[in-house]
Structure 1
């Protein structure tokens, strides 16, 4: 993602909710589905790439002992900090990925509505680095709008196809409707019922 992208998104975020994350039922429903599909009640250390104005960040903060949220836009980061408030377990920082990369590893990484803004070389590097940043039983979740649009290098289906082609992790679960695709990968996929010894 180039500095031009940062300038583009800073311009968008002069409107506090440019994508309707706070106002549209579509976005609320999608966010609720993403959070509901997470197979663990709690995660030790999570990372949200592309936190936007912090709506999903709030939900993830309640599920993670520690959460890192990043966005290329300084305006988005400021809005996310306002939305999340004074939560000691959340760190929200401006960063450009894959060029800038956090230290340490994560047991949850969420990439939502970001992949198609990256040119293919950056996307492939990001996917490779995401897999390396997961702990051995970590979960990687991707969620993307499926339709092409002017600013996208590829659509969400192509982003997920690239992720699946590169990862050595098996698919844990998938939700797909006419508008968005949500998929998750982990080393040893187990249903919630399996985790709780119900089968």
Structure 2
């Protein structure tokens, strides 16, 4: 099969390095009331008070990481941008259960299993092919009863390969009778949506 060069490409480390070089907090994670409210909604959607092991894909500056850590025995938070991880390490230095690692998913993926995988504001940076690869790896990393929480901005952004809705619909397509996932909960807000799925 010939590659389709019209397919959008995943936004890589160079893209994010430039973004963080231009602005230390480019999406207002530390200051935005929108982000603060969204983080509260995210944490409220988790059905368990505690997860022994969790993976946060795309942790950025670690603002949500710091809050999520209080619910985790061990939290592996990963990002492609070293500048963001440096800030996250400072923010989470007082949390021994947090491990921060520079990883490029889906090319690199941790080998262990996780009771919770959080994909928040990151799925739309993947190409359709990389979303499919990441999805397979995420599902394999979840034990039966493990939770996948998706949270994404829904308005289109011109330089992102996918929309938040496209990311969620891709995962929700795996919740049919023969699919590996079950849909537990969904919320749609003015500019973002949240879906909680469980590994069958």
TM-score under structure 1 length normalisation: 0.90
Deviation of residue 166 (structure 1)?
A: 3.3
Distance, in Å, in 2 between the alignment partners of 1:157 and 1:2 is 18
Deviation of residue 180 (structure 1)?
A: 0.3
Residue 101 of structure 2 is matched in structure 1 by 93
Deviation of residue 122 (structure 1)?
A: 0.3
Deviation of residue 86 (structure 1)?
A: 3.1
- Are residues 1:185 and 2:197 paired? yes
**Cα distance change, pair 81–162 in 1 and its aligned pair in 2 (3 A):** same
Aligned residues of 2:20 and 2:84 also touching (Cα < 8 A): yes
Deviation of residue 3 (structure 1)?
A: 9.0
Aligned residues of 2:11 and 2:126 also touching (Cα < 8 A): no
**Cα distance change, pair 3–49 in 1 and its aligned pair in 2 (3 A):** same
Aligned residues of 1:128 and 1:166 also touching (Cα < 8 A): no
* Partner SS, residue 56 of structure 2: strand
- Are residues 1:61 and 2:69 paired? yes
Correspondence 1:34-73 to 2 at 5 A: 34-73=42-81
| 1:9 maps to which of 16, 20, 42 | 16
| 1:176 maps to which of 167, 188, 195 | 188
Residue deviations 1:63-121 (CA, integer Å, cap 9, x gap):
00000000011111111111112321110010000000102100000000111110000
Residue deviations 1:25-82 (CA, integer Å, cap 9, x gap):
0010001100111111100000000001000100111100000000011111111111
RMSD: 1.7
* Partner SS, residue 45 of structure 1: strand
Deviation of residue 8 (structure 1)?
A: 1.3
Residue 121 of structure 1 is matched in structure 2 by 129
* Partner SS, residue 53 of structure 1: coil
Residue 3 of structure 2 is matched in structure 1 by none
Distance, in Å, in 2 between the alignment partners of 1:67 and 1:75 is 20
Moved over 4 A (4+): 1-4
